[in-house]
Structure 1
Amino acid sequence: MLACLPGCTPGDEGARVSCVEQALRQPGLEQDVAVFTAEDGGVAQAKVGWLTFRNADSVLPMASLTKPLVAGEVRRRVDRGELRLEQPVGALLPGVAFVPETASITVRQLLQHRAGFDRSFRDPLFASTPPNCHAAARDVLQRRPELGVGQQVLYSNAGYCVLGDILLSTPSGLPADLRLALDAPLGAAGGWTGTLHQLHRALSRTLPLVDLPADVVLPDGSHYAYGWRRWPAAVEGPSWSHFGRLPGMVSLALSDGRGTLLVAHFLGDPQDVDATSLAASHALWRCMAP
């Protein structure tokens, strides 16, 4: 992993850009671009290898970085009293076919990937061509979850498709870009497209981030809150992150949870996308340290 270049000091915006440019150079990834909070509180960008007609102002797919935006809207509705974290989804989607086990799944469990939906052998989102998030939601709700509800953290596209359908059932007040994402084939699981600057603005509106403490965590001690992965204080790197992947691309969002945010987009199909994304996030976040 690459750290900041010599001379990368607080208050030196040019050094931060140079540092990010170097950190973007990750094995297995190419055509890289990032937009991030500058030292003065503004927004800066860096890129490596991008052709002149593809840059931070290009419209790009952001894959699973859609999920923190969906979760941010859920959080706003919870704060306004329009949703409750412990509310069962069976009461939120009238007319949808449920089995008893799925009707009792809560909003919190969907947010934290604890609904028991196991995509290890078959991800319902990609069961059709093109993918269909609404169909994936119906698919998982009308059959028993593969594993016990609430007992494990199993990252689930279909679970966020269910959250998307809940938001669309009362669409008043939905931001226009999020509404477009929810109506796209990948929907709430990954349908957001736009420029990195637009994504940075949209994710900035979810700051400061709020934790959802979890009694079930991942093996590394992290857990999911409102769409963001919350890392223990002892772990190197950003306090909050989310990674996205579609064939041929990787995206990531990193934040301290307060006001500092970095979003990045890469081309590539790394063999181990989780390890590659984690290495990139650690390298990039070193540039953001005060």
Structure 2
Amino acid sequence: MFHNSKISLIASASIALLSVIPGFTIPASAAKGASVDGADASTDLDRKALKSAMDRVHSVGMPGVYAEVRDGDRVWRGAAGVADVSTGRRVRPDMLHRVGSITKSFTAAAVLQEVEKGRVDLDAPIGRYLPELVPGARGEAITVRMLLNHTSGLPDYLPYAFPSLQIFPAEGSTQSLDDNRFRQWDPVELIEMGVKAPPAGEPGVAPGTYSNTNYLLLGQLLEKVSGVGAEQYITRNVIARAGLRHTGFPTGTQIKGPHSRIYESFFGLIDPPRDYSVYNMSWVSTGAGLVSTVGDMNRFYGMLLGGRIVSRSSLEQMQRTVPVISQTGEVVEYGLGLHRFTVADCGTFWGHDGTVWGAQTLSMTSEDGKRQMSIAMNLVRWNELDASGRPQPHPIDDALLAFQREAVCD
């Protein structure tokens, strides 16, 4: 996380979506079709209200948005807008999407599986497993649990991997985004940036600070204890176990399959917004590298919260939250790879949000597992900044809130 108050808002692989939308308080095989409605014929969800709310998100400025909403066995899938602003190609609810830090829930589940096997101790120091990456007293003080819930005190590597962002908005440069578009990063190189940077806090002290460094370290931990690559492990033991047919870590720079182009505005600095759908995602890997669909995201969180990916006792560990300062400066309740969302008058939900350059996602599942919503958008950081560097309200914010409430509230 950036320390400068202005730039602390922006250099993120996962900027919390709900933290800038008032009303969502966060305390200390998808159906094909191009229709906006896209609903199953059997559903008695309020299709007209969902359709109208989604249309509104598009009409106030979002190029393309698509979602799947579930209420028990009843399903609504819909999309509004375009997947390509140049050609007018329509967005569809079955499209693949870069889901950003939703990846962290997958990585955390994989680590908990290794805990269940006795290969990892949640409260053991990371220095026991990776002394070469987090050496000395720091490696002894930071536990595996602290990496999972972002209380390690390790800062994010992002401002060092994307150095032009460190002077934003004073100089207004996003050059680093283009400089690194095709770069193949070594996760160890990125981890070293975070470990060598000034600490973001003391290990184990709340509130923690959200940091992608933690989840790249967890990827290295998985490799160390399992003997296979972290992405391979997650694919075999989490993605396959959940029966996800449209989820995986991309190879190369392109998404293979039907997908939308994704547009980065960077708070109005990039005008018109730039297409970053072609990008080497090694800069986030086990922290935010996955590609998925809204249908697969709902299936994953439904199975995870149903105790079918990790044991019930492991799930209880994942749902033990602490206050964590997000990359927007908001305080969120964060467990082990899971957000707890409290929606006013609607109850408690679990899931995660995710953002990479150009793409944004959010997935929420109610505590009883009955109500689910996963939504994907192809424009990011649409808000302009005021003189102090704070994002200003935009009609998209209110439209998203209205859709989300329609989706998750009975």
Question: What TM-score does the superposition give when structure 2 sets the normalisation length?
Answer: 0.57
Q: Distance in 1 between matches of 2:146 and 2:289?
A: 21
CA RMSD of aligned residues (A): 3.7
Tell me by how many angstroms 1:30 deviates. Answer: 3.2
> Which of 68, 78, 85 does residue 46 from structure 1 map onto?
78
Q: Any idea what the Cα deviations from partners look like across 1:176-199, whole Å, max 9, x if unmatched?
A: 486953985021111001333233
> Equivalent residue for 2:214?
159
> Equivalent residue for 2:17?
none
Q: Distance in 2 between matches of 1:112 and 1:23?
A: 34
Tell me by how many angstroms 1:239 deviates. Answer: 2.3
> Equivalent residue for 2:320?
213
Q: Extract unaligned runs of 5+ from structure 1.
A: 2-11
Secondary structure of 2:208's counterpart equals coil
Q: Distance in 2 between matches of 1:90 and 1:174?
A: 23
Q: 1 or 2 for the larger relative contact order (CA 8 Å, sep ≥6)? A: 2
Tell me by how many angstroms 1:150 deviates. Answer: 2.1
CA contact (8 A) 1:237 1:286 kept: no
> Equivalent residue for 1:198?
296
Q: Please show how residues 47-62 of structure 1 align to structure 2 within 5 Å.
A: 47-50=79-82, 54-62=91-99
Tell me by how many angstroms 1:283 deviates. Answer: 3.8
Distance 1:225 1:214, change over 3 A: closer
CA contact (8 A) 1:99 1:143 kept: no
CA contact (8 A) 1:243 1:253 kept: yes
Aligned residues: 279
> Equivalent residue for 1:266?
377
Secondary structure of 1:230's counterpart equals strand
> Which of 133, 153, 159 does residue 123 from structure 1 map onto?
159
When Rg is computed on C-alpha atoms for both structures, the one with the higher figure is 2
CA contact (8 A) 2:323 2:331 kept: no
Q: Distance in 2 between matches of 1:42 and 1:29?
A: 27
Q: Please show how residues 119-268 of structure 1 align to structure 2 within 5 Å.
A: 119=156, 123-124=159-160, 126=162, 129=180, 130=183, 132=185, 133-142=187-196, 145-151=199-205, 152-169=207-224, 170=226, 174-176=234-236, 181=249, 185=282, 186-208=284-306, 210=316, 211-214=318-321, 216=323, 222-231=332-341, 238-259=348-369, 260-268=371-379
Q: Any idea what the Cα deviations from partners look like across 1:66-103, whole Å, max 9, x if unmatched?
A: 11111122233333433222121111225435242144
CA contact (8 A) 1:70 1:178 kept: no
* Worse overlay, 180-189 or 81-90: 180-189
**Partner AA of 1:226 in structure 2:** L
